[in-house]
Structure 1
Amino acid sequence: MLERWIDDAGQEDSAMMHPVVSKTRRPNWSRAIAKLLVDLAMLNLATVLAVFARLDFGAAPWSLVYILRFPGLMENLVFVAASVLLQTPLALWSYASLRDMERVAIVVAVTKVLTLQLLIAVSGEVQWSRGAFAASAVLAFLFMAGVRAVARWRYEHTARQERVDVPVQKTPSGARVLIVGAGDAGDKVLREFEGHPELGRVVGLIDDDVAKRGCTIRGVRVLGSVATIADAARRTGATQAIIAIPSHAASVTRAVLPNLADTDVQVRTLPGMWELVNGSIHVDDLRRIRLEDLLTRTPVSTDLGPVRAYVEGKRILVTGAGGSIGSEIVRQVVELNPSQVIMLGRGENRIFRIDREMQQLENVTCAVPVIGDMRDEARMAWLFDTYRPDIIFHAAAHKHVPLMEKNPEEAILNNVGGTRTLLRLAASHRAERFVNISTDKAVNPVNFMGASKRVVELVVQVNDGRERLRATSVRFGNVLGSKGSVTEVFQKQLQESRTLRVTDPDMERFFMLIPEAVQLVLQAGALAQGRDIFVLRMGEPIRILDLARSYIKLAGLEVGRDASIVISGNRGNEKMTEELWSGTEHVVPTSNESIMRVECPAIPELAVLRQAVDALLNATRSHDVNAMRAALHTIDPSINIP
């Protein structure tokens, strides 16, 4: 009978997966009663053996009689009551854990202690020694725990055997896996690989904790630290590395990737710990690494309290609101309780998407979509007359360098002309703040897009202080995940041809994530002191070639076997390395450690700059590229376009 119920306990979850079979099985309460009877049998067997031993193994009948007399019956009743209260008969033995063993220990302890006290209270003595009680308690726990351990072993053994017997699943991947993280999550992954051998074999653990070095978990040894993972991979022949430290996955991944850069090891990571409910994570659920895993630093996250102080209750205009940066500004600003957010954009489809997103948010009724071109002075005048914005976040611009080299007039007319129109209207309508989104390409520019953004920075600076307007610019580098960004291009190339195109092996860029860039833009708006430019700390620049290699590896492919990288050559007036400030600019820290302030050299007067910009726009409308180059150099000698 005991073996039969152990088999039943090992098949409990099968009934859940096969409802047709479960209809023929007994109800759960009958199974619980059977488990309680098994536990009672173990309890009484332990008592018989303990009493038998107390009588020096010479009075066997007395040990059997004991459990049928008052003390034994009392002990059984107490045990049943404790078991029901702690619900031990309801536990699935096929999933017996340390928590279940704790409950068993509590039930046994409560039973023995209460029974002992009751016997002393009723008869004033205990028929057998207290030593026998203690021995029976230990034996009872060992027997009951042993039954559960056997049930779990039988279940796991049967499950493994069934998987081996199914031809479809008997297709081992051959993967040899290193698990980074010898903690709870790493243990869960190990269990999954044990239960699913077709997914591969774990050949080692990696952990920076010195105390774990050389130890084993479920028979798998901790080989070393993250710094030695490449050596561990070569020694074990590993083909996959799984990051099993969900709480610090991004930082660990950034440490692992460089060490595995010259190997063929694929890198994957787990979902967050909240997804590891009751240890139910499956190895098949491992997700691909996110964009933040490509950064060589920890993403910035700041307190938006200072931003709320100047945004709350204000009317906010966001230009380019349908773009990657503009739409994220909208998302973050609406959380700060503005009275109104005007979402301006020229592209109907993009504004439609961000407007629909805002409509689907609860308690967001302040967002207003406006379709319009910032170069259209009449339309912009209507917008300012109608909504009278207090704060303008200016994210509208043409930004693609090679495209603007072929269309330089559009870069100047849109970026310079459109911004000047907005600034004039912001000042005349007594707006409070104007925050311009600039770029590192505005520093010592060598192309028309960068030059246009440099002129915009100057126009913003000279307009600072007009009426009551506080105008400033914020510079940052490339944004991962934005429309047309390198990662979007890589994804498309990988899907279509498995060939990534890199312009030059030595070209490098600064990178940020969209949310962190926008957070710092909003913060910079609170720091403006007058005629300043803010620069966001972006860490060290990343070589595009290294980014391509990491992208291929994180996609689960190998460079040279599954995907290739080709050098396509400079696309036209692209710098090898970008700068965040020029040699004539002095950078000082601010109260926000992630933002630096550029103390700019002397800038021209408003009237002088206005004449120079008029000359630039006239040359642009005449499609005279040489005159455009000359006008740009006149405005700022640092602009030198070949």
Structure 2
Amino acid sequence: MKKKMLGALLFSIDALLINLAYIAAFYIRFDADFTGVNATKYLPVYFEHFITFTLIKLAIFYIFGMYKNLWRYASIEEVFQIVGTAFVANTGIITYMVLTQQMLPRSIYLLAFILDTILIGGVRLSVRATRNIRDNNLFRKKEYKRVLIIGAGQAGALVIKELKNHDNLNSKPIGVVDDDESKLGARINGVPVLGNRHNIGKIVESKNIDEIIIAIPSASKKEIRQVVEECSKTKCKLKILPGIYELIDGQVSIKKIREVEIEDLLGREPVKVDLEEISGYIGDKVVLVTGGGGSIGSELCRQIAGFKPRRLLILDIYENNAYDIQNELLRKYPNLQLDVLIASVRDRARLDEIFKIYMPQVVFHAAAHKHVPLMENNPQEAIKNNVFGTKNVAECAHEYGTEKFVLISTDKAVNPTNIMGATKRVAEMIIQSMNVQSKTEFVAVRFGNVLGSNGSVIPLFKKQIAQGGPVTVTHPEVTRYFMTIPEAVQLVIEAGAMAKGGEIFVLDMGEPVKIIDLAKNLIRLSGFEPDVDMEIKVVGLRPGEKLYEELLMNEEGLSATKNDKIFVGKPFFTDLKLLRRELEILSSILIEDSNEIKEYMVKIVPTYHKTS
């Protein structure tokens, strides 16, 4: 209703201004003398046709959308629209006069065009001017977030424009930072370029900046990390415009800006995968994902669904997670053939039933117990799930003719110091030894910590920060490799495409990160100063925890693959008969005390150095 009333008001004002422009044109043309011979000759012609002139121009204004625009957001594009519409409208008047064989001095038409542009454009742009005056607190007092934009390119300019055009965001762009020295002192949509990234701290302090928006979507991950690190030294809230590879539609808008996440500090480029190769072994296949409701499993399901499998099977013991990913996938892929199977990998009979019914051609085995301290206190459960659960699924894959079997493993399986890592190493041994005697191609994928996964350190830190601290770190020297969940899953899928059987694939995970540095950065990203506003408390290493993780054992070697981010270790354990005998003994002592279980795990995994 308000918009219609504004349109009607503009319509009435335009009718008045159109005729005011003609009167002014006559005034200028005849030197303010309306009694002269020429004036008395042409003025009657105008008065005879002024209603027609008005209707023609109003009709053209309407057709050209002059009553649809939100003029409080007017910019240079709207100015061009006003000029173009006024030109067409006056051309329409000339055409009418020619057709009716009437005439006015040519200068009247030119002056009318100029005055139309000034008067009609002026009314509309005054709406924008009034809004700017109001925003500058000349009419009323309003508190704005003072925003610094990183990036003086096209993305930065668009962000500035949107901040100015959306009053409800309560944000006012104060300055721009860019490393291009030639832009220093220039203005981007009226906002000055104040310096480069090394000046961020000084600019924030001198300009009382509240928020920083990083708007350089074309920058590499390494460059983004460096900028984020510089920004995190301030107490400003940080936001970022996603990279080009994240902007699927390529459109930059205020809606795409997100909070800066800890992932932005990893400085790693996204893993590139061979989509055609992946489509070849997943497309039109029956694919089973065990642990499909978990952090890794659910992301596997998301990405696999995009490759159009014939049928996707989600197997999980926990119904709530499985239900959530089922609903998500069916919303996004309504034609996906999807089955959710509530089952435990410990239940061999249930697995036999599932494999017999569905005959999966590709299996991703993500079901596992993974929490190091919990498994240290419950070794029987770790062995039942990670060892015998893997054995059950792998044997079903072999017996029912599965083409590929991909085990999700961990860097904790390398020279393990905890029972969880030891069980995952046994799981690797199972698939490596089975690969020798099976037509199924068995492969393991080993990677480090996954940011944001259930039970990982980042959600714990965020929860502790939200509660006001302290943020707990087990040891100041604890170092870990990290990757994002999508990266980990891309590696898993790519490994399946590369698999020839028996390999352990490892991702080039970049430089390891100190957990204490991760904690400090996350505290800064939350707007606090470590050990000033938020305490970091060192609590001591947990049972089975290493200071440093490894990705490969010496015996495995390391070879490059066609993907420069993925490496492969050669299989070195292939004695399935020996392993089966040892697993039979391990099964018989599962009811014994945990110390005896761990002692026998040392026999199976000689590189296991138990710490408790």
State the TM-score, normalizing by the size of structure 2: 0.85
2:452 to 469, 475, 481: 481
The whole-number CA distance in structure 1 between the counterparts of 2:192 and 2:134 is 26
1:549-572: per-residue Cα shift (whole Å, max 9, x none)? 222233344434543321122112
The whole-number CA distance in structure 2 between the counterparts of 1:142 and 1:68 is 22
Q: Which moved more, 1:502-511 or 1:608-617?
A: 608-617
Give 1:628's aligned residue.
598
Counterparts of residues 373-522 of structure 1 (less than 5 Å) = 373-522=344-493
Gaps of 5+ in 2: none
1:218-274: per-residue Cα shift (whole Å, max 9, x none)? 653212233542343344453431234578798775342211343323312469999
Give 1:141's aligned residue.
117
1:484-515: per-residue Cα shift (whole Å, max 9, x none)? 11122122222334321111222222222223
The whole-number CA distance in structure 2 between the counterparts of 1:433 and 1:274 is 31
Decide whether the 8 Å contact of 1:292 with 1:299 is kept in 2.
Answer: no
- Aligned residue identity for 2:125: A
1:272-330: per-residue Cα shift (whole Å, max 9, x none)? 99999998x69xx9753346435332333645432232223333222212211122222
Identity of counterpart residues, as a percentage? 34
The whole-number CA distance in structure 2 between the counterparts of 1:121 and 1:200 is 54
Give 2:507's aligned residue.
536
Give 1:43's aligned residue.
21
Give 1:9's aligned residue.
none
Decide whether the 8 Å contact of 1:50 with 1:136 is kept in 2.
Answer: no
Counterparts of residues 242-253 of structure 1 (less than 5 Å) = 242-244=213-215, 253=224
- Measured at CA, do residues 87 and 121 of structure 1 come closer, stay the same or move farther in structure 2, by a change above 3 Å? same
- Measured at CA, do residues 278 and 267 of structure 1 come closer, stay the same or move farther in structure 2, by a change above 3 Å? closer
Decide whether the 8 Å contact of 2:472 with 2:539 is kept in 1.
Answer: yes
Q: Which moved more, 1:471-480 or 1:363-372?
A: 363-372
Decide whether the 8 Å contact of 1:404 with 1:411 is kept in 2.
Answer: yes
Give 2:43's aligned residue.
68
1:83-125: per-residue Cα shift (whole Å, max 9, x none)? 343243555554443333222211333355566677789879x
1:33 aligns with 2:11: yes
Decide whether the 8 Å contact of 1:96 with 1:152 is kept in 2.
Answer: yes
- Aligned residue identity for 1:149: L
The whole-number CA distance in structure 2 between the counterparts of 1:132 and 1:36 is 18
- Measured at CA, do residues 79 and 378 of structure 1 come closer, stay the same or move farther in structure 2, by a change above 3 Å? closer
CA shift at 1:404, angstroms?
1.7
Aligned length: 602
- Aligned residue identity for 1:639: Y
CA shift at 1:470, angstroms?
0.6
- Measured at CA, do residues 201 and 334 of structure 1 come closer, stay the same or move farther in structure 2, by a change above 3 Å? closer
Gaps of 5+ in 1: 1-12, 17-25
- Paired residue secondary structure (2:541): coil
Q: Which moved more, 1:230-239 or 1:559-568?
A: 230-239
- Measured at CA, do residues 66 and 137 of structure 1 come closer, stay the same or move farther in structure 2, by a change above 3 Å? farther
2:157 to 175, 181, 184: 184
The whole-number CA distance in structure 1 between the counterparts of 2:192 and 2:493 is 48
- Paired residue secondary structure (2:577): helix
Decide whether the 8 Å contact of 2:315 with 2:341 is kept in 1.
Answer: yes
CA shift at 1:420, angstroms?
1.8
- Measured at CA, do residues 391 and 84 of structure 1 come closer, stay the same or move farther in structure 2, by a change above 3 Å? closer
- Aligned residue identity for 1:516: E
1:374-395: per-residue Cα shift (whole Å, max 9, x none)? 2333333333333332222111
The whole-number CA distance in structure 1 between the counterparts of 2:349 and 2:147 is 64
- Aligned residue identity for 1:68: L
The whole-number CA distance in structure 2 between the counterparts of 1:342 and 1:324 is 16
Decide whether the 8 Å contact of 1:247 with 1:273 is kept in 2.
Answer: no
CA shift at 1:429, angstroms?
2.2
CA shift at 1:371, angstroms?
3.0
1:61-81: per-residue Cα shift (whole Å, max 9, x none)? 467547625478489366455
CA shift at 1:540, angstroms?
2.3
1:341-361: per-residue Cα shift (whole Å, max 9, x none)? 332223344334444545656
- Aligned residue identity for 1:429: Y
- Measured at CA, do residues 76 and 372 of structure 1 come closer, stay the same or move farther in structure 2, by a change above 3 Å? closer
The whole-number CA distance in structure 2 between the counterparts of 1:416 and 1:134 is 88
Give 2:576's aligned residue.
606
Decide whether the 8 Å contact of 2:451 with 2:482 is kept in 1.
Answer: yes
- Measured at CA, do residues 516 and 627 of structure 1 come closer, stay the same or move farther in structure 2, by a change above 3 Å? closer
1:50-71: per-residue Cα shift (whole Å, max 9, x none)? 5236xxx778746754762547
The whole-number CA distance in structure 1 between the counterparts of 2:338 and 2:498 is 25
Q: Which moved more, 1:416-425 or 1:291-300?
A: 291-300
Decide whether the 8 Å contact of 1:296 with 1:540 is kept in 2.
Answer: no
- Measured at CA, do residues 266 and 459 of structure 1 come closer, stay the same or move farther in structure 2, by a change above 3 Å? same
Give 1:8's aligned residue.
none
CA shift at 1:437, angstroms?
0.3
- Measured at CA, do residues 184 and 62 of structure 1 come closer, stay the same or move farther in structure 2, by a change above 3 Å? farther
CA shift at 1:455, angstroms?
2.0
- Measured at CA, do residues 49 and 636 of structure 1 come closer, stay the same or move farther in structure 2, by a change above 3 Å? farther
Root-mean-square deviation (Å): 3.9
